[in-house]
A = this chain, B = another copy of it.
Amino acid sequence: MSVLKEVLDANLQYVSEFGDKAQLAMPPARRFAILTCMDARLDPAKYAGLSEGDAHVIRNAGGRASDDAIRSLVISYKLLGTQEWFVIHHSNCGMEFFNNELMGDLLESSLTTAALSDKGFVDVGEGPGSSEGKYINWLTIADQAASVIEDVTRIKAHTLVPSSIPVYGFIYDVATGALLEVTEATKIGVAS
């Protein structure tokens, strides 16, 4: 069965059990936002206990505080009233397995999916690729705890972010499902 049909079948089931969710308001009822990674193993609604209507969820590769994540966070508080934010990276993140140089080289070699060998990602496709990847900052991660602190710091320091908003930093452990808080004081010793 194709993914498209599977998704639409699952959606029909969801519609049949939709209940009174049409009544939900646009502003998040619990007034907070989560910025986390797109990783398939993470379900922020499940790991943080969210129901529909509760909180904004922003996700990208790495859960990084990119300009676009900050665009979303500023809209989240300025127009829709969120008052607390969580930055949640995770253990065993794909962003730890490459850097800008490697990604540029892989994309220059081909646009097909690379293989992950014990030497890291290696290209197995046939060209043509594109050198365009060399002009993108992929926002990779060398150390999870450090990247959480960097992103929390970048968000707090942003001109458009009021100092009244607490920004909590966490690492989600894909081996246990646990959220481990990361602060300047605790970042040394947190497993990545």
A144 at the interface (CB under 8 A from B): no
Nearest residue in B to A181 (C-beta to C-beta)? Answer: B8
- Closest Cβ–Cβ distance, residue A4 to chain B (whole Å): 6
Task: Find chain B residues with CB under 8 A from A119 CB.
Answer: none
Chain A interface size, under 10 / 10 to 19 / 20 to 34 / 35 or more = 35 or more
Q: Which residues of B contact A55 (CB under 8 A)?
A: 40
Binding site for B on A (CB under 8 A): 3-4, 6-11, 13-15, 18, 21-22, 24, 26-33, 38-43, 45-50, 52-61, 66-69, 71-72, 74-81, 84, 86, 92, 94-95, 97-98, 103, 106-107, 111-114, 116, 121, 130, 132-133, 136, 138-139, 159-162, 166, 168, 174-179
**Chain B neighbourhood of A107, CB < 8 A:** 74, 78, 160
Q: Which of B6, B106, B168 contacts A4 (CB 8 A)?
A: B168
Residues of the B chain whose Cβ atoms lie less than 8 Å from the Cβ of A40: 24, 26-29, 52-57
Q: Which of A27, A97, A161, A177 gathers most chain B CB within 10 Å? A: A177
User: A43 to B47, Cβ gap below 8 A?
Assistant: no
